[in-house]
Amino acid sequence: MPELLLDNLRLVLPDRVVSGHLLIADGTIRAIGEGRSASPAALDCEGDYLLPGLVELHTDNLEKHLLPRPGAHWPAAAALRAHDAQLLAAGITTALNAISVGEEDAEEAVDPAQVLAALEAAREDGGLRIEHAVHLRCELPCPDLPQRLQPLLGATELRLLSLMDHTPGQRQFHDLERYRSYSARHGNARDDAGFGARVRQLQRLQRQHADTHRQAVIAFARELGLPLASHDDSELSHVVEAVEAGACIAEFPVNLATAVAARAAGLRVLAGAPNLVRGGSHSGNVAAADLARAGALDALSSDYVPGSLLLAAFQLGAWDGIGLAHAVAMVTRTPAQAIGYRDRGELAVGLRADLLRVRVVRDLPRIESVWVGGERRY
């Protein structure tokens, strides 16, 4: 791979933005300098921003391709390639694909083993243009969760386990009417009697299995040395449980109090970039902007909109007291470090050359180029 010198850039470094140039060699960042380069071989980037490639810890986008409509399952290999292209175009160069294990509704479920097999096959045949890893979402009330989870734990690039509990009446679905609306949007509308029976059934499964399965997932994480995330914490007791479990990430806290408590306890708080872009949560939970104002936001996830990650970083970067360097770290360095990636996530000599060239047009960031491991892919 030939050397490439990028010049006339606004480099988004870990702590500041500077005008400068950057040299790529052998897939890594070889040198960084301030000011213009004297080399006639340099590529003039016309004052565009240069960012680290975005690091995504919880994308549900693959499941959208696998199940584009309720009950309409799509071939896993084709879904994965479409998903990969979409993430690349959004500037995401490292993605943890969130795959549900123990989904409550068969119509909504995808086969995790099939997805993991498709990922491995695509990786082997060079069919992926960004780096994909795996985040297994463990639905604790599922009656046979440990049996479902066990054969998946040897997956290549498994990087994260999360403790999930979508039982209606608590956490994300503490408001049963919101749960009813969510179910209807996903093709599971029921009359009052059917809805009530379904809620009671799910609550019964939670009482029977959630506590035992929580301990099983914690044990798996410790045995394999995997990071663990809590999810949708809505009570201070949930934060206490997350700390006791050894979690290092608090995903999508439902309210400000739990986010503040989680951060005070040493967990990294992850919120949704779509929440920040839209100005609030689509499900009625705390606004990501309020977390940022309170100093209780560490990282962002594109969740269900890949293009939201870069947009949210630039929106947040325009805030007084935050700035672009800090905002970009929320979508690069912080998520990378949270799960143990030490070779990416910032512009620094010796790290992987996962890079984005970004131009701001009409106040919107537009990706001009994407390099993954020093190779231009977009």
pLDDT tens digit string along 242-286? 999 999 999 999 999 999 999 999 999 999 999 999 998 877 789
72, 37: one domain: no
Please report the pLDDT score of residue 71 as a whole number. 79
In this structure, the answer to whether residues 129 and 256 fall within a common structural domain is: yes
**What's residue 180's pLDDT?**
67
Same-domain status, 296 and 373: no
Phi and psi torsions of 257, nearest 5°:
-60, -45
pLDDT, position 168:
76
Same domain for 81 and 118 = yes
User: Quick one: 4 and 105 in the same domain?
Assistant: no
Give the 3-state secondary structure of 271-309. EEHHHHHHCCCCCCCCCHHHHHHCCCCCEEECECCCCHH
Q: Quick one: pLDDT at residue 2?
A: 84
- The model carries a pTM of 0.92
Spatial separation of the C-alpha atoms in residues 222 and 33, rounded to whole Å: 42
pLDDT at 186: 55
Specify whether 284 is located in the same domain as 335: yes
Q: What is the pLDDT of residue 285?
A: 85
pLDDT of residue 169: 63
- The whole-number pLDDT of residue 354 equals 98
Angstrom CA distances, 150 to 75, 168, 217, 219, stand at 24, 26, 10, 11
Q: Quick one: 123 and 175 in the same domain?
A: yes
User: Could you report the average pLDDT of every consecutive run of 10 residues in the chain (378 residues)?
Assistant: 94 97 98 96 97 97 89 90 97 96 70 92 92 96 94 94 83 69 60 75 87 96 97 94 97 96 97 94 86 97 96 96 97 97 98 98 97 97
Whether 134 and 279 share a structural domain: yes
Looking at residue 104, what is its pLDDT?
A: 65
- Residue 197: per-residue pLDDT: 80
Are residues 216 and 126 part of one domain? yes
Domain that holds residue 22: 1-51+344-378
Judge if 32 and 61 occupy the same domain: no
What's the CATH code of the domain at 106? 3.20.20.140
pLDDT tens per residue, range 146-160: 999 999 999 989 999
Judge if 322 and 364 occupy the same domain.
no
Number of domains in the chain: 2
